[in-house]
Structure 1
C-alpha cells in the first residue's frame, strides 16, 4: 500500500496518476476536499481509499493499524500559499503534521518522501542544500525550512528512507484548483484566451521587464524523481528538485504565445507595475543546484520551459 497526502492536489494527483500507469491501485489518498472541485484531479485515477487529512492524522496518532502494510508515504499535503501569514495555522499544518508522520514512518520502517520547497532559500542567490544559504522570506518558507531542520537533527538515527524534495517552480497538469497560486504558464494561457495578452511584472530587483528568472520544472519530471527514490529506498537526504537552469518569465510567456500562434490565436505581452505588497518578499531569481541529486545517481534530463510548456498547453487546451 502507498499513501499520498495531498493526493487530490497538484503534485499529489500527478503522483497518483503515474502510480496507476505503473499498474498500482493500492493507494490511499489523503486530502481536504473542502474545495470540492479538487476531486477533478483524481476523477480519472484508481485508488483503494480516500481519507480526510484530519481523520488520517487522528488514526496515525492512535496507531489503529492504518499504517499496517504501508510501503511508502508521499507526503505532499500542506498549505502552499506563500501569501498566507497565519503562522499558527501554517506551523500546525505544515510542521507539526509532518513531524507526526515522520515519527510514525520511522517507527514502522515506512519510506517517507516529503515535499519541501525552494522558498526556504528566500533572498539567497545560492540555491544549495546548506544552512548558510537558507533565508525564508515568508512563514510558508519558514514552516518548510523548520521541518527540514528537524529532519537534519534526526538524520543520523534514521533506520528507513527519509527524503525531502525542495520543489522549485513546478508547473503542469492538474494545478487549476490552485487559483492565484497556480503557475504563470496556467495564468498566461487563461489571459491569452480571455484577452489576447500575457501580463508580466515590470522590472524589479535589478531585473528588466519580465526578466525575473526562476527554475521552472515540469511536473512530469518532479514525479519521475519521486518515483525514482521510491525504487531506491537506500537513498535518503534533502534534495533540490529543479532543472538546474533558470529561465525568464518572458521565456514562459513566449512559449505560451508560440503554442497558441501555432493553433491560430495571436497575442502579445504586456508589463504591469511590480506590486508593492510583494516588495521584499519576492524571489526574483532561483536556480537549483542539483549536484546532490546527481551525486546520488539520478541521471534523467529535465524538460526546458519550451518543451514543458508545449506539453502542458497540449494537455490544458486539448
Structure 2
C-alpha cells in the first residue's frame, strides 16, 4: 500500500489520480476529512482506506508491514498566517512523527518542502544542503518548512530512501478549496468571468515593473509525475527543487489566461496588501540540475500550455482531476 497524507488537498489528490492511472490500486489516504470544501477532490477515486490525520499514528503500527511508500504532502500552507504555533504543530511536529515512523518501520518517504524556504533569494535557488542553515524565509510557513529541512539533515537515522521536494509555484485542478492561497491562474479566471478584467499586484520595487514580478510556475500534472518518478527510481536521498527552471512574469500568466478564454487581455494593477508586502517574493526560479542528474528527463509543460489545459478542461467545467 502507498500512503498519501494531505490526500484531500490540491497536490495530494492529484498525486492519487496519477498513481491510480499508473495501476496502483492500494492507496491509503490520510487527512482531516471534516473539511467539506475538499470533498470533491477524492470523489470517484478507488481507495484502500481513509485514515483521519489524528488517528494515523495509531493505525500505522497495525499496518506498517503492508506499506511500501509514504508521500507526506499534508501541511498548513497559508503564507498569510503568522501564528507560528499553527505551523509548529502541523508542519514541524506532525512531520517529525511521520519521519520517525518511516525510520522505525523502514518505509521510504517523500515529503513536501517548499520554495518559500528560499526567502528573497539572497542565497539563490540551489537545492544544496550546505545553504539550508543560511536561508531566511519571509513568513512563518516558509520558516516551518525550512526548520523541518534543517531537522531532517541533522538526523543520524533516516528512512531507507527519502526526498524533500521543494515545490515552487504549483497551479492546476483541485485547488478550488484553497481560497486566498489558490494560484493566480485560479483567481484570474474567476476575475475574468466576473468582471472581464484581471487584477495583478503592483510592484513596490523600482527594479520590477508592474506585473513583471517573476515566479517559477509549475503545472501540478508535472509535479505528480516527478513524485512518481522519485518513488519508482529512488535516486540519492536529499532535498530536490521541483519547478520548471524557467521563471515567468505574472503579466505572462494573465495574458495566457485571457488567451485560453479567447479574450483580449484587460489587466489592471492594485497595491500588494500591506500584510504581505514585505514578505512578498519578487523572483523565484528553481535550479534543476540535481533532479536532472538523478535521471529525470521529462519535459515540463509551458506556462501557456498548462494554463490552457487547466482553464479549458477544468476551471471552465468546475471539473476535478
Quote the residue 2:121 is aligned against.
124
Does the CA contact (< 8 Å) of 2:80 and 2:275 recur in 1? no
Give the Å deviation of 1:278.
1.7
Matches of 2:172 and 2:235 in 1, distance apart?
Answer: 29
Quote the residue 2:111 is aligned against.
114
Give the Å deviation of 1:235.
3.1
Give the Å deviation of 1:34.
2.7
Quote the residue 2:141 is aligned against.
140
Quote the residue 2:268 is aligned against.
270
Quote the residue 1:90 is aligned against.
87
Written as runs of structure 1 = structure 2, the 5 A alignment for 1:189-208 is 189-205=189-205, 206-208=207-209
* 1:191-222 Cα shifts (integer Å, max 9, x gaps): 00111001101122331111100000000110
TM normalised by structure 1 equals 0.94
User: Are 1:177 and 2:174 an aligned pair?
Assistant: no
* 1:264-292 Cα shifts (integer Å, max 9, x gaps): x5551111122222222110110001111
Q: Equivalent of 1:311, from 309, 312, 321?
A: 309
Matches of 1:20 and 1:158 in 2, distance apart?
Answer: 28
Matches of 2:209 and 2:86 in 1, distance apart?
Answer: 36
Does the CA contact (< 8 Å) of 2:28 and 2:49 recur in 1? yes
Quote the residue 1:302 is aligned against.
300
Give the Å deviation of 1:57.
3.2
User: Are 1:162 and 2:159 an aligned pair?
Assistant: no
Distance verdict in 2 for CA 1:148–1:132, change over 3 Å: closer
* 1:35-60 Cα shifts (integer Å, max 9, x gaps): 21211001031111111111113444
Matches of 2:223 and 2:294 in 1, distance apart?
Answer: 16
TM normalised by structure 2 equals 0.93
Q: Extract unaligned runs of 5+ from structure 1.
A: none
Give the Å deviation of 1:314.
1.9
Does the CA contact (< 8 Å) of 2:253 and 2:303 recur in 1? yes
C-alpha RMSD of the superposition: 1.5
Matches of 2:134 and 2:294 in 1, distance apart?
Answer: 21
Quote the residue 2:27 is aligned against.
27
Q: Extract unaligned runs of 5+ from structure 2.
A: none
Quote the residue 2:236 is aligned against.
235
Matches of 2:237 and 2:39 in 1, distance apart?
Answer: 32
Distance verdict in 2 for CA 1:133–1:192, change over 3 Å: farther
Matches of 2:217 and 2:183 in 1, distance apart?
Answer: 9
Matches of 2:65 and 2:19 in 1, distance apart?
Answer: 20
Q: Equivalent of 1:285, from 283, 286, 310?
A: 283
Quote the residue 2:13 is aligned against.
13
Give the Å deviation of 1:228.
0.2
**Matched residues, number:** 311
Distance verdict in 2 for CA 1:174–1:232, change over 3 Å: same
